[in-house]
Amino acid sequence: MPIKMAPAANGKGEPILVPMSILNFGDTPVSFVEGSMKADLATQEAIVIEFTIYRDEVESWDDVKSPMVYLGLKISETKTVKILSTWAVKGYSEQRKPIEHAKAKYVHGYLRVLEAQADPLLARSGWFGIYLVPKNSLKKPHEAYAIILVPNKSPEQLQAIVQSTKNALGIVKTASALAVRCRREHTFAIKKIIYPELPLQEEGEFSQGDRLFVLKHLESHTNNSELTDALRKLGWKNAKALKPLGATAWSIASSEDPPSSHVSLNGNFVVIAPQGKPSNAVKNAFVPATAAFTGGVSQSVPTVPIVPTTSRIDEIKNDLQGQVQAMVEAKLKDTASDIQQLKKAMGDTHDSIAQIKVAQEKTDRKIQDVETSVQANGEGLLSKMTSMFNELQTNLNQRLDKMETASDEKDSKRPRH
């Protein structure tokens, strides 16, 4: 039984949901009963679109303070496309960490729209700094769409190409270059328009509602139509071979699962698995009925499922352990980065202190030189002043002696009565 969310209550008595799965090992099968409080809800086919608004491609960053308002102003299709919900709309730094709007380098978020109305909205991707990416249930780029890399083109040049190309659905920003998006069934035609001189391999037809599979380990050389016929003879009625994926693999499109994960083509086994999904995530693995099991003649008989060697609970534990380990590693990475920054800051502080000490020593030497100079100058000045005072005193004494001598001579010459 697949994992379901079951009702429960936490330690405070608050209602919560917990994942559960029933594994039957006895003679009497046990099934999950939802209870009486249930109703059927009418649903609509919807698609999740991831949107990003880049600051360096926006005229005024203040206009993006309310991202949804900015989308409505710049993309007129938002007025006709029914947006079911939006969430996780935040500003992020260059390190992909949430940050306030004024310091953010881009805004990122999600919105859900009706699948039938998604294409007109996606066609506006690449204008006004807004880029849109459709997502599937695995949170990966949706398999119904394909991108065609167009290197060495500016956004303005690519906008002109998209506007003049039928069935092009906007611009995509990848790590290596800009690209043009389209429905997968239009990929071959648009490639021929963008690259008219490039020799292109023929591709099969992809229809809306198809899913992608990978056929691996095919050693025989074949083409789209021949491989399609062979797969349909195996009972995979709507399978379509799209294009080779390397030397021994092919991309297959189908709205249904293959009749078996292993099939024999020209006496050699090949593997068929969902594209972009790990092989251990396939719900059922099958062993095909081959010539070795049927007495020398390959027949179309029911396949035999392999009993999984690990329980679903073990898989959940492994997933949780992997998630926890990833979180711990991320925290350790952030902590290591903080420690490195702290060490760098301490090293800078140590260098600053050393520079201050050197400057202080230079200042002390200058003060000592000044003190020595003042002391020497003071002693010389005191010696000069003492000499001057002594010389002045000698001169005064000499003048006084002369004055006394002159006075005595006058008294001696004055007549006496």
Tell me the per-residue pLDDT of 13-59, one tens digit each, with 9 for 90 and over: 999 999 999 999 988 999 888 888 888 887 778 999 999 999 999 99
Q: Is residue 1, in this structure, part of any structural domain at all?
A: no
Q: What per-residue confidence (pLDDT) applies to 93?
A: 94
Q: Is residue 326, in this structure, part of any structural domain at all?
A: no
- Whole-angstrom CA distances from 377 to 16, 141, 373, 380, 391 are 91, 87, 6, 5, 21
- And the tokens for 394? 């000698």
Query: What are 99-156's pLDDT values in tens digits?
Result: 999 999 999 999 999 988 899 999 999 999 999 999 998 888 998 899 999 988 888 9
Q: What per-residue confidence (pLDDT) applies to 366?
A: 87
Residue with tokens 């270059």: 177
Q: What per-residue confidence (pLDDT) applies to 271?
A: 92
Q: What per-residue confidence (pLDDT) applies to 294?
A: 38
The highest-confidence range among 80-89, 196-205, 309-318, by mean pLDDT, is 80-89
Q: Are 229 and 240 in contact (CB under 8 A)?
A: no
Task: Look at residue 334 and tell me whether its pLDDT is greater than 50.
Answer: yes
Q: Is residue 172, in this structure, part of any structural domain at all?
A: no
User: What is the overall mean pLDDT for the chain?
Assistant: 83
Comparing 369 with 98, the larger pLDDT belongs to 98
SS3 content of the chain, % helix, strand, coil (to 5): 40, 25, 35
- Work out the angle at residue 281's Cα, subtended by the Cα atoms of residues 5 and 50, and round it to the nearest 5 degrees: 70
Q: Is residue 300, in this structure, part of any structural domain at all?
A: yes
What CA dihedral angle connects 62, 63, 68 and 72, to 10 degrees? 180
R_g (Cα) of the chain, nearest Å: 45
Q: Is residue 240, in this structure, part of any structural domain at all?
A: yes
Q: What per-residue confidence (pLDDT) applies to 415?
A: 63
Q: Is residue 80, in this structure, part of any structural domain at all?
A: no
Query: What are 355-402's pLDDT values in tens digits?
Result: 898 888 888 888 888 888 888 888 888 888 888 888 888 888 888 888
Task: Look at residue 245 and tell me whether its pLDDT is greater than 80.
Answer: yes
Query: What are 74-97's pLDDT values in tens digits?
Result: 998 888 888 889 999 999 999 999
CATH number of residue 248's parent domain = 3.30.70
Closest CA to 261 of 237, 241, 234, 242: 234
Comparing 6 with 287, the larger pLDDT belongs to 6
Comparing 142 with 311, the larger pLDDT belongs to 142
- Per the structure, the count of domains in the chain is 1
Domain of 251?
211-305
The highest-confidence range among 90-104, 307-321, 398-412, by mean pLDDT, is 90-104
- And the tokens for 103? 């310091």
3-state secondary structure at position 277 = coil
Output the DSSP codes for 343-368. HHHHHHHHHHHHHHHHHHHHHHHHHH
3-state secondary structure at position 134 = strand
Comparing 205 with 228, the larger pLDDT belongs to 228
Q: Is residue 223, in this structure, part of any structural domain at all?
A: yes
Q: Is residue 408, in this structure, part of any structural domain at all?
A: no
Q: Are 198 and 129 in contact (CB under 8 A)?
A: no
